[in-house]
Amino acid sequence: MVEFKVLVVGAGLNGLLAGLVLQRAGIDFVILEMRNDTDLNWGSSVCLWPQSVRLLDQLGLLQEANELYLPVQKKCNLKRDGTVMSWSRMIENISVNHGHPWMLFERGTLIHLLKSHISTLSHHLFMDKRVELIRSKQDSVEVECVDGSSYTANMLIGADGANGAARSFVGNFADTSVDGDFTTTFYGIYGHGGFLSSDLECGVAYETHSDGFSTQLIVPSKERYFFLIYQRLNVPTQKTQRITVEMEKELVSKYGKAFLAPGVTLEQVWARKTWKYSASLEEGVARNWSRDRVLLLGDAAHKMTPNIGFGLNAGWQSVVVLANMLKPCLAEDPYLSTADLSKLLVEFHRTRRTQVRRDMQLSALATRLNIWDSLLWRFIDQYVLPYINGDDVLAKYFCSWTVRKSVTLNFLPEPNFKEGIIKWDKRTVSK
């Protein structure tokens, strides 16, 4: 019999990280990606919290990451009319709390970093492979692609998103958009651009709060800015919400004079953008994460609003937990039966679901606070949080719970272990 092999569907940041971790664990893998190599670099900014930075350290990527990430120290909250509600050093203080910094990357930069550390990439990553069918067999799982090619492995990790083939297979849905796991209350417009204003302070995440509309404008340098515009839908929906060009135009026309930073309006940000993308901001945790030899990962299993940037970090934690469970099982039995593997995947779900749901709920709270989803949130945001250093309170007493309880790979060392004023619950000592 051949050695245990894993198919990873999706070469986004979760899929590539899964491949890299499997490689370090000595487990054979193949990644299938439906896009071409150019499209893979598509996207705006992503952030890594300190628990994910620890993982970069274990994988030997920390030095490069330190040279590539875009430093941000401060946060500024303001109203739509430009009135500043508060300034804080919340982002800088994350490293004080946890030892490692909060790292901002352009998505393509982080994609390239992960890809560059997968050995013999041409044998492990195959582009333009849209999975059309997943078939479960007695001792394996097989996929068929639109181009007629097929691949067989002992396990499949579905990192292909909420509407991917893996989630459809696990839930046995004819239409994944109406299965009821995810709800859309808000939609967003992501984008980035170059130079914006010589008067704008750099190294700052600016956040505009108002009724039904909020924004995030991150300016790491004079040469680069990233933005995300949040708009509340009139009625939440569990169906796929398509964001039309007309909806974008209407939003920009309605809120064009709104300030996204002191002295900078939405009109200015929109006029200087070099890329943009609109999407519904789904929220929810899938009821089922696995079926037979197939496991859902990242957005295929859970969706959360991006205000505090927990989504990707939750996916990376799932990769760590899975690897820590799978490697010792394969050491005992390299030919795991479907029944034994299914039990492992169910246990994985049990281990992760509570933490993921908490991350989703905290993200939801931050979004609703910023968008003044009720009179109570509006009052608290304007008249309470500015006087108690609200952003620092959020990071230190709420987000830190997720950070400090994170796990690391139990089979790799952590050469640059760091700790801040908040101690890690666990420090892995590799065996």
337 within domain boundaries: yes
Closest Cα to residue 50, out of 412, 430, 423? 423
Domain of 293, CATH number, reads 3.50.50.60
User: Is the pTM of the predicted complex or chain greater than 0.85?
Assistant: yes
191 within domain boundaries: no
Q: What phi and psi values does residue 126 have, to the nearest 5 degrees?
A: -125, 120
Q: 209 CB contacts (<8 Å, ≥6 apart)? A: 77, 78, 79, 80, 85, 369, 370, 371, 372, 381
Q: What integer pLDDT is reported at residue 38 of this predicted model?
A: 63
**Tens digit of each residue's pLDDT (9 = 90 or more) over 68-97:** 999 999 999 999 999 999 999 999 999 999
CA distance 163 to 177: 7
**Tens digit of each residue's pLDDT (9 = 90 or more) over 89-147:** 999 999 999 999 999 999 999 999 999 999 998 899 999 999 999 999 989 999 999 99
Q: Is the pLDDT of residue 183 over 50?
A: yes
How many distinct structural domains can be found in the chain? 1
State the residue range of the domain holding 54.
5-181+284-404
**Tens digit of each residue's pLDDT (9 = 90 or more) over 15-35:** 999 999 999 999 999 999 999
349-357 mean pLDDT: 96
User: How are beta strands 103-106 and 84-88 bridged, if at all?
Assistant: unpaired
50 within domain boundaries: yes
261 within domain boundaries: no
What residues does 99 pair with on adjacent strands? none
Q: How many C-beta atoms surround the C-beta of residue 119 within 10 A? A: 8
298 within domain boundaries: yes
Q: What integer pLDDT is reported at residue 242 of this predicted model?
A: 84
145-171 mean pLDDT: 94
304-328 mean pLDDT: 97
**Tens digit of each residue's pLDDT (9 = 90 or more) over 387-399:** 999 999 999 999 9
Q: Is the pLDDT of residue 179 over 70?
A: no
Closest Cα to residue 208, out of 238, 237, 229? 229
312 within domain boundaries: yes
Q: Is the pLDDT of residue 419 over 70?
A: yes
3-state percent helix, strand, coil for the chain, nearest multiple of 5: 40, 25, 35
Q: What integer pLDDT is reported at residue 178 of this predicted model?
A: 47
32 within domain boundaries: yes
Q: What integer pLDDT is reported at residue 54 of this predicted model?
A: 98
410 within domain boundaries: no
